[in-house]
């Protein structure tokens, strides 16, 4: 027995010596590599040790959110916001105690005007029925004022899209496909589908990249497809098309999109067949005529001028030619990968562009004709309720539902290395994402969101959320006081 033990100790000692020698050899090799390369000043001046800078810089993305950032500090979504979504998705209590950690003096933040006599449970109404496309062959009617925004299959993994589809069906809300085409995974849950047609017309394109009416007719014939959204721009990158790196363009994704596999999937900056308002209205009416379904547009606004001219063009043709809805995206990022210069600086944020859009439609007499869908960082009840009060008929979110799936804001969406399996096609990373479990979380998040928005409405003395108006919201000003949203 002693001889066996002595032998084991000797093996361990020799193994440690060998490991130390290998580590020393590695350090020597890295030293010579670093002192002779010319790409990195830090590594050349501080060989081997300088490499730790990049490692710590990368780890900082993860450590900040757990150890250093306060609950309301982190961007793009702070810990308090993410924690609310996580609790809602898991069906846990969203109650808190001992006071709010929200800074009530942040300029631009909302406060709701509580009523002296809130609505009793016996006075509550069902959500208002919203009708899209009164002039098309197959209008769409829904009571869901909170839905899943566009996320493409390709940008998202198979289990993620499947989870969203099944969760949307459980919740009774719609799922937007994103611009990557309609996949079987979007249809897996039998949910209502909004098909997004991007500038590359993935899924309904011919061999030259132009709109194929025959493919569009086949797609629109699917009873799950309720509406079609023509994407002009998105919040992550106004003025630039979608970006999907080559390593995420699998054979299945390529077949769905109608492009070659293994090559980057980059959409044009705009629809090549749309150069002006008249051609945009031509495309809207062409798609609506072929599909028979409501057709709208998705835009980021940069000002009032284009919108005003577009409304005038509609009035000249007649209100039946108008888009059935306008999805307004906020210019403060999104799920898509984008140049930081566009994500940081291009377009108007929703708090400015939403009232601009609603007011222009009212001024032109088109507000009843065109439904307004608000999108952009609206993942918690207060900001969704503010959008509804500002004039939106519907609110959609992508990142809120990504958090419901388990997203940890690792900022790896465009690298095929997402640790939660949501935005990667690496099977090893996808294995922890179970569609049955995550679908239930999607539905739970939706249910809690709707419930809490209803609670806000009832506290304002309203029977249901569609009755929220600007007079029910006050906005904090630079002097620390608030004024009614109606006055802004």
H or E, element range at 29: helix 2-36
- Which residues on adjacent β-strands are paired with residue 231? 298
Split at pLDDT 50, 70, 90, the class of 333 is: low
Q: Assess contact for 452 and 93: CB atoms under 8 A.
A: no
What is the rounded CA–CA span in Å between residue 447 and residue 457?
A: 15
> Residue 97: its pLDDT value, please?
77
Whether 301 and 347 have beta carbons less than 8 Å apart is answered as yes
Most confident of 61-75, 275-289, 326-340: 275-289
Query: Is 293:326 a contact under the CB 8 Å cutoff?
Result: no
In this model, does residue 361 exceed pLDDT 90? yes
Please tell me which of 284-293, 396-405, 474-483 the model is most confident about, judged by mean pLDDT: 284-293
Domain 121-487 in CATH 3.20.20.70: yes
Quick check: 420 pLDDT over 90? no
Where do the structural domains in the chain lie, given as residue ranges? 2-68, 121-487
Res 346: pLDDT: 81
Nearest 5°: the CA angle 101, 107, 110 is 65
Percent of the chain having pLDDT more than 70?
Answer: 91
Question: Which residues, other chains included, contact 278 with Cβ-Cβ below 8 Å and sequence gap of 6+?
Answer: 313
Banded pLDDT at 212 (limits 50, 70, 90)? very high
* pLDDT greater than 90 at residue 340: no
**Using CA atoms, how far apart are residues 383 and 77, in angstroms rounded to an integer?**
13
Q: Quickly state the pLDDT bin for 217 (edges 50, 70, 90).
A: very high
Residue 272, φ and ψ in degrees, nearest 5: -65, -20
Backbone angles phi, psi at 146, to 5 degrees: -135, 120
The string of pLDDT tens digits covering residues 28-59 is 888 888 888 876 656 777 788 777 766 665 56
Mean of per-residue pLDDT scores for the chain? 87
Mean pLDDT along residues 222-231: 97
Rg over alpha carbons for the chain, rounded to the nearest Å, is: 26
What element of type H or E holds 7? Answer: helix 2-36
Q: What is the pLDDT of residues 459-468, one digit of tens each?
A: 999 999 999 9
- The gap between the terminal CA atoms of the chain, to the nearest Å, is 86
Give me the phi and psi of 165, to 5 degrees please.
-65, -50
Confidence band (pLDDT; 50, 70, 90) for 73? low
User: Who wins on pLDDT, 251 or 328?
Assistant: 328
pLDDT of residue 129: 95
Contact yes or no for 370/315 (Cβ under 8 A): no
Altogether, the residues listed in the chain come to a count of 488
Is-contact 327 229, C-beta < 8 A?
yes
Which pair of tokens denotes residue 224? 């799950």
For the segment 329-338, the average pLDDT, to the nearest whole number, is 73
- The mean per-residue pLDDT over the stretch 169-173 comes to 97
Residue in the structure block whose two tokens are 């350090």: 27
pLDDT at 262 over 60: yes
Give the separation between CA 43 and CA 49, rounded to whole angstroms: 7
| pTM as predicted | 0.86
Which has more pLDDT, 42 or 438? 438
The bridge status of strand 146-148 relative to strand 394-397 is: parallel
Give me the pLDDT at residue 181, please: 92
């Amino acid at each position: 027995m002693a001889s066996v033990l002595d032998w084991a100790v000797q093996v361990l000692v020799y193994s440690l010596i060998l490991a130390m020698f290998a580590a020393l050899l590695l350090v020597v090799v890295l030293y010579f590599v670093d002192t002779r390369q010319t790409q990195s000043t830090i590594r050349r001046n501080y060989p081997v040790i300088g490499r730790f800078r990049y490692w710590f810089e990368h780890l900082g993305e993860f450590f900040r959110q757990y150890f250093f950032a306060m609950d309301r500090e982190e961007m793009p979504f702070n810990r308090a916001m993410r924690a609310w979504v996580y609790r809602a998705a898991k069906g846990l209590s969203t109650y808190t105690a001992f006071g709010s950690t929200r800074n009530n003096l942040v300029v631009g933040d909302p406060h709701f005007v509580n009523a002296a006599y809130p609505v009793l449970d016996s006075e509550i109404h069902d959500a208002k029925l919203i009708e899209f496309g009164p002039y098309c062959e197959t209008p769409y009617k829904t009571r869901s004022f909170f839905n899943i925004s566009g996320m493409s299959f390709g940008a998202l993994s198979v289990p993620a899209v499947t989870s969203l589809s099944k969760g949307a069906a459980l919740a009774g809300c719609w799922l937007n496909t994103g611009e990557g085409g309609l996949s079987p995974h979007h249809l897996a849950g039998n949910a209502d589908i909004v098909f997004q047609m991007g500038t590359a017309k993935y899924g309904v394109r011919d061999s030259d990249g132009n709109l194929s009416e025959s493919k569009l007719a086949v797609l629109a014939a699917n009873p799950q497809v309720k509406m079609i959204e023509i994407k002009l721009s998105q919040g992550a990158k106004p003025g630039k098309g979608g970006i999907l790196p080559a390593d995420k363009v699998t054979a299945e994704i390529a077949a769905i999109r109608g492009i070659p596999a293994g090559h980057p999937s980059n959409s044009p900056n705009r629809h090549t067949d749309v150069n002006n308002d008249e051609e945009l209205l031509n495309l809207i009416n062409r798609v609506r005529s072929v599909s028979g379904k409501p057709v709208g547009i998705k835009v980021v606004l940069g000002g009032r001028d284009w919108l005003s001219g577009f409304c005038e063009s509609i009035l000249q043709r007649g209100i039946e030619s108008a888009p059935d809805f306008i999805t307004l995206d906020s210019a403060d990022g999104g799920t898509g990968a984008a140049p930081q210069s566009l994500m940081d600086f291009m377009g108007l944020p929703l708090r400015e562009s939403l009232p601009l859009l609603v007011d222009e439609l009212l001024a032109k007499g088109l507000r009843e004709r065109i439904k307004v869908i608000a999108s952009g960082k609206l993942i918690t009840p207060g900001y969704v309720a503010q959008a509804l009060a500002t004039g939106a008929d519907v609110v959609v979110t992508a990142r809120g539902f990504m958090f419901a799936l388990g997203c940890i804001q690792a900022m790896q969406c465009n690298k095929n290395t997402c640790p939660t399996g949501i935005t990667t096609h690496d099977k090893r990373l996808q294995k922890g994402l179970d569609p049955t479990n995550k679908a239930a979380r999607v539905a739970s998040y939706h249910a809690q969101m709707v419930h809490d928005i209803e609670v806000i409405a009832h506290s304002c003395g309203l029977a249901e959320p569609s009755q929220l108006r600007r007079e029910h919201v006050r906005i904090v000003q630079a002097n620390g006081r608030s004024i009614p949203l109606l006055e802004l």
